Amino acid sequence: MTVQDVARIQAAVAEYWSEVRHVEVSESTNTELLATGAPGTVLIADQQTSGKGRLGRVWEAPAGASLLMSVAIDLPHTDDLGLVSLAAGLAVVDVVPQARLKWPNDVLLNGKKFVGILGEIDMRDRAPMLVVGLGVNIEWEEHRLPTDWSTALNLQGITVDWDEFTIELLRALGQRLRQWRDKDALLIRAYRSVSLTIGQRVRLETHSGDVIGVVDDVDEHGEIVVNGTSYSTGDVTHLRPTD
């Protein structure tokens, strides 16, 4: 399936988003919105042919299996940009309260990922704009999942109405991004409360090498703190006590 009533969605999220577009196919909703969108615009696609994930990875999904959308906001400041993707992940947890977060923005159900998030900034010939893309696995056949650590809402026993889910997620996303814009300290407190990573022993893969240790915190800038040192980027693996 996919979204059905775009006019209903538009009316329900007008407090946060001025325009909701829907297309059957997009090469990448992020790329398309960066090229043609304005702050306040939402772009939803039934299918992406070249979706993008973190660290240059590809985000792939069959048609009608995932909610694929990007939102554009203006960039009132460039403070703590790392919090933006954390805010997006937290918005998903607002709508799927069983979910938890693995730093920075992997959204997990029973230890398996069902959401991909990517933020990008356009600093070109106009006012700066931030685009946040989300891919939420909603209705998948298990054998088509890209990895054995992927999942979907239906495979976790969660059935949703696509339009209602989209409305709730866009509202939550608008609220959480507003907290980031306003530099609201409640944002990082809420993130910490649903983090699976804080207190975990991890391997953090960075450009300068691997770091192994216990995660002390995710700080007010959205950076992960391992063995007393803050890191803004990296790939986290949760380790078992014997690893």
List, for residues 127-168, the tens digit of each pLDDT value.
Answer: 789 999 999 999 999 999 989 999 999 999 999 999 999 999
Contact between 28 and 48 (Cβ < 8 Å): yes
Confidence at residue 106, expressed as pLDDT on a 0 to 100 scale? 95
Same domain? 101 vs 210: no
Same domain? 218 vs 128: no
Backbone φ and ψ for 2, nearest 5 degrees, come out as -165, -175
Same domain? 71 vs 116: yes
Same domain? 72 vs 144: yes
CATH code of residue 112 = 3.30.930.10
Domain end, chosen from 193, 210, 226, is at: 193
Same domain? 217 vs 160: no
Same domain? 179 vs 71: yes
Same domain? 20 vs 82: yes
Residue 136 located in a structural domain:
yes
Q: Tell if the pTM clears 0.75, that is, is over it.
A: yes
Residue 89 located in a structural domain:
yes
Same domain? 208 vs 187: no
Tokens of 143: 């054998």
Same domain? 146 vs 211: no
Contact between 135 and 115 (Cβ < 8 Å): yes
Angle at 81 between CA 77 and CA 82, to 5 degrees: 165
Same domain? 130 vs 220: no
Q: Give the structural domain span for 227.
A: 201-238
Is residue 59 predicted with pLDDT exceeding 80? Answer: no
Q: Strand pairing partners for 135?
A: 68, 116
Q: Percentage of the chain surpassing pLDDT 90? A: 83
pLDDT digits (tens, 9 = 90+) for 10-27: 999 999 999 999 999 999
Residue 1 located in a structural domain:
no
Confidence at residue 55, expressed as pLDDT on a 0 to 100 scale? 46
Same domain? 42 vs 104: yes
Same domain? 140 vs 220: no
Q: Exposure pattern of 186-206 as b/e (b: 16+ CB <10 Å)?
A: ebbebbeebbbbbebebbbee
